[in-house]
């Protein structure tokens, strides 16, 4: 076991879009696998046909493709479909259910939903366990012939695990240490349903983890209550010696207040809880990190630090760095507050870190949407001038639209403050100065304009502020002579003339 190859799996149930907490679980599995030279496997746990949602499987695969998290097994990347679906492995599970029945470790129960409801109403805190099973219709209380007759007559049944009360079950968790619970609190969980001939989550999950030689089960804290049952199932099936090691990750918590992060928190506070956009059956659309303008590596970096820390001050990590330093023993036991402002901060950092070329390529479609045609070269220059002001690529438009579209109105408060009585006459002079310039590079233009201001003993600030107002329409933007170099001399002069005519 000690020298066993690391093999971990991400085992979503395709019941809808993947929650961001699930993405973090998958990421930690991936980092752990890659760190140890192991395999990362996708397994679709679709044995609950009631909760199956069409499109969820493709969504999950698309999401990881976007994030740059690759599975080693379980995905056919030519079709982008999963290759391991539990619903297609029925006979495999049946064999182990039969084994448990033969060995008396599980039993058949015929209780109908109505009968179960009646008992629930009759007995306080009803739980189908050792104290109750003798009162129910199952293969422990009915004669063998009756059981056979009921089955051959086509009555539906379930198979339940038989849990003996009064002993401790120990789960050794790599993050939480030894978790001990008493078997008396467990119920005889359903492992198999005759109706669809399918195992339930617990049975299929254990059988597959065993058959796929999974070495570590890394999953969310919400599965910790199931772990004792899983340990018991390994024992019952005779697989205790190859049981995977468990690690239950801390919950993602609401950004404000207490409790588990939910989709409602995202709607309420305005951040996505899904990696990609998802459209409900009723047409309702939930936005995703991708559509909200997050860069995939920023999302990975953000999620990596929600429940794990490197032990240093460093916050920006590439996937490769994360793989190198990730370890389960630096995962915390307590929940991680979902600080979505920090998510924006990461996106900002990644935009700065990326080349202007890369960001310009992402900005190009937004320019087209706004009806702008501009060379790639100019886009790259402009991106370089304004990207430090944005958290998202889409915000680049608001920060740079004046490069492409001349202002037709002027911000009122800036006009009040910056447009003085002498301004029009000064700007007319400035037009003459600019007209004389042949070298329109920022540096040359700046030298000439500043020399004129000095010679005339004008107030540098007053001129430059009015100049900016005329060119940009307000008081924002990068260095003035960088702007004029991009828009060109003619456009600069045209804007000055328009402002002189328009601003009163
Ligand atoms: N199918 C479970 C889920 O949806 C898997 C839990 C586990 O990893 O064991 O998360």
Q: Which two tokens stand for residue 87?
A: 């619903």
The torsion defined by the Cα of 303, 330, 249 and 216, in degrees rounded to 10, comes to 110
Domain spans in the chain, listed from the N-terminal domain onward: 90-249, 412-502
> What separation in Å is there between the alpha carbon of 288 and the centre of ligand 1?
22
Please report the atom of ligand 1 found closest to the CA of residue 13: 4
CB 348 within 8 A of CB 395: no
State the average pLDDT over residues 166-179. Answer: 97
The continuous run of DSSP H or E covering 211 comes out as helix 201-211
> What separation in Å is there between the alpha carbon of 212 and the centre of ligand 1?
15
**Separation CA 31–CA 68 (nearest Å):** 12
CATH fold of 412-502, please? Arc Repressor Mutant, subunit A (1.10.10)
DSSP string across 408-436: SS--HHHHHHH--TTHHHHHHHHHHHHHH
Please name which of 272, 260, 337 lies closest in space to residue 298, comparing C-alpha atoms: 272
> What separation in Å is there between the alpha carbon of 242 and the centre of ligand 1?
19
Please report the atom of ligand 1 found closest to the CA of residue 223: 6
Express each pLDDT in 398-426 by its tens digit. Answer: 999 999 999 999 999 999 999 999 999 99
Q: How many CB atoms lie within 10 A of CB 244?
A: 23
420 assigned to active site = no
Express each pLDDT in 96-123 by its tens digit. Answer: 999 999 999 999 999 999 999 999 999 9
Q: What is the mean pLDDT of the chain?
A: 96
State the average pLDDT over residues 325-349. Answer: 96
Of 9-23, 154-168, 254-268, 304-318, least confident by mean pLDDT is 254-268
> What separation in Å is there between the alpha carbon of 297 and the centre of ligand 1?
25
Does position 4 have pLDDT exceeding 90, yes or no?
no
DSSP string across 95-158: HHHHHHHHTTSEEEE---HHHHHHHHHHSTT---STTTGGGSSBTTTS-HHHHHHHHHTT---E
Please name which of 251, 248, 189 lies closest in space to residue 224, comparing C-alpha atoms: 248
The continuous run of DSSP H or E covering 168 comes out as strand 168-173
The continuous run of DSSP H or E covering 396 comes out as helix 396-404
Mutation choice for ligand 1 from 10, 45, 216, 247, CB with most ligand atoms inside 8 A: 45
Enumerate the β-bridge partners of residue 308.
331
Q: How far is CA 167 from the centre of its chain?
A: 40
Does position 257 have pLDDT exceeding 80, yes or no?
no
Q: How confident is the model at residue 50 (pLDDT cuts 50, 70, 90)?
A: confident
Give, using CA atoms, the residue closest to atom 3 of ligand 1. 12
Look at the chain and count its residues: 504
Please report the atom of ligand 1 found closest to the CA of residue 15: 4
**Separation CA 493–CA 484 (nearest Å):** 9
Q: How confident is the model at residue 258 (pLDDT cuts 50, 70, 90)?
A: confident
**The one catalytic residue among 193, 263, 337, 489:** 263
In eight-state DSSP terms, residue 198 is E
pLDDT at 2: 55
Enumerate the β-bridge partners of residue 171.
179
Does position 14 have pLDDT exceeding 50, yes or no?
yes
Tokens 């690759």, residue? 70
Q: How many helices (H) and strands (E) does the chain have?
A: 20, 16
pLDDT at 51: 87
pLDDT at 273: 97
Mutation choice for ligand 1 from 201, 203, 214, CB with most ligand atoms inside 8 A: 201
CA 211 → CA 187, 217, 240, distances in Å?
26, 14, 13
Express each pLDDT in 207-247 by its tens digit. Answer: 999 999 999 999 999 999 999 999 999 999 999 999 999 99
**Separation CA 360–CA 375 (nearest Å):** 10
pLDDT over 70 percentage in the chain: 99
Give, using CA atoms, the residue closest to atom 6 of ligand 1. 11
Burial of 196: CB neighbours in 10 Å, binned 0-12, 13-18, 19+: middle
Q: How confident is the model at residue 93 (pLDDT cuts 50, 70, 90)?
A: very high
Please report the atom of ligand 1 found closest to the CA of residue 25: 8
End-to-end Cα distance, the chain? 83
Express each pLDDT in 187-212 by its tens digit. Answer: 999 999 999 999 999 999 999 999 99
Enumerate the β-bridge partners of residue 106.
161
Express each pLDDT in 360-387 by its tens digit. Answer: 999 999 999 999 999 999 999 999 999 9
Q: What are phi and psi of 42, to 5 degrees?
A: -100, 130
Residue 162 neighbours by CB under 8 Å, 6+ apart: 104, 105, 106, 107, 133, 140, 188
Q: Is 309 helix (H, G, I), strand (E, B) or coil?
A: coil
Q: Which two tokens stand for residue 49?
A: 């046909």
> What separation in Å is there between the alpha carbon of 43 and the centre of ligand 1?
9
**Separation CA 469–CA 114 (nearest Å):** 76
- How do 39-42 and 7-10 pair as beta strands? parallel
State the average pLDDT over residues 266-283. Answer: 94
Q: How confident is the model at residue 323 (pLDDT cuts 50, 70, 90)?
A: very high
Q: How confident is the model at residue 138 (pLDDT cuts 50, 70, 90)?
A: very high
Pocket of ligand 1 (CB under 6 A): 11-13, 45, 201, 205, 217, 219, 223
**Separation CA 247–CA 245 (nearest Å):** 7
CB 286 within 8 A of CB 3: no
Q: Is 312 helix (H, G, I), strand (E, B) or coil?
A: coil
**Separation CA 357–CA 378 (nearest Å):** 10
- How do 278-279 and 285-286 pair as beta strands? antiparallel
Does position 1 have pLDDT exceeding 70, yes or no?
no
CATH number of 90-249: 3.90.800.10
């Amino acid at each position: 076991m000690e020298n066993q190859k690391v093999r971990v799996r991400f085992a979503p149930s395709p019941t809808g879009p993947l929650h961001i907490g699930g993405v973090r679980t998958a990421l930690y599995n991936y980092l752990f696998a890659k760190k140890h030279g192991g395999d990362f496997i996708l397994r679709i746990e679709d044995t609950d046909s009631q909760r199956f949602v069409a499109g969820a499987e493709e969504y999950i695969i698309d999401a990881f493709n976007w994030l740059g998290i690759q599975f080693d097994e379980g995905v056919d990347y030519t079709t982008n479909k999963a290759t391991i679906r539990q619903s297609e492995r029925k006979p495999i599970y049946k064999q182990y259910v039969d084994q448990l029945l033969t060995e008396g470790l599980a039993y058949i129960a015929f209780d109908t939903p109505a009968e179960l409801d009646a008992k629930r109403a009759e007995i306080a805190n009803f739980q189908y366990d050792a104290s109750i099973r003798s009162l129910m219709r199952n293969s422990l209380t009915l004669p063998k012939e009756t059981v056979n007759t009921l089955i051959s007559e086509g009555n539906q049944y379930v198979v339940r695990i038989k849990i003996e009360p009064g002993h401790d079950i120990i789960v050794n968790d790599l993050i939480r240490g030894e978790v001990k619970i008493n078997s008396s609190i467990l119920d005889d969980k359903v492992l198999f349903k005759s109706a669809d001939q399918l195992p339930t989550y617990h049975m299929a999950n254990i059988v597959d983890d065993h058959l796929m030689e999974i070495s570590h089960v890394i999953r969310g804290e919400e599965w910790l209550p199931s772990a004792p049952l899983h340990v018991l199932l390994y024992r019952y099936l005779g697989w205790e010696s190859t049981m995977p090691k468990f690690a239950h990750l801390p919950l993602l918590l609401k950004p404000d207040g207490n409790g588990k992060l939910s989709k409602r928190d995202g709607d309420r506070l305005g951040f996505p809880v899904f990696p990609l956009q998802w459209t409900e059956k009723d047409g309702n659309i939930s936005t995703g990190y991708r559509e909200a303008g997050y860069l995939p590596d920023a999302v990975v970096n953000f999620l990596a630090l929600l429940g794990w820390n490197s032990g240093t001050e460093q916050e920006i990590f590439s996937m490769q760095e994360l793989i190198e330093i990730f370890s389960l023993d630096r995962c915390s036991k307590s929940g991680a507050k979902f600080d979505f402002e920090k998510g924006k901060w990461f996106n900002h950092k990644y935009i700065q870190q990326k080349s202007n070329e890369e960001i310009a390529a992402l900005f190009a479609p937004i320019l087209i949407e706004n009806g702008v045609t501009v060379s790639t070269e100019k886009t790259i220059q402009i991106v370089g001038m304004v990207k430090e002001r944005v958290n998202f690529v889409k915000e680049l438009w608001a920060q740079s639209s004046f490069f492409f579209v001349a202002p037709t109105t002027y911000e009122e408060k800036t006009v009040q403050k910056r447009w003085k009585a002498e301004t029009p006459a000064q700007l007319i002079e400035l037009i003459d100065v600019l007209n004389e310039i042949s070298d329109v590079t920022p540096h040359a233009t700046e030298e000439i304009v500043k020399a004129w201001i000095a010679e005339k003993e004008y107030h540098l600030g007053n001129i430059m502020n009015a100049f900016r107002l005329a060119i940009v329409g307000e008081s924002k933007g990068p260095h003035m002579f960088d702007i004029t170099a991009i828009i060109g001399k003619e456009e600069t002069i045209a804007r000055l003339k328009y402002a002189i005519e328009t601003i009163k």
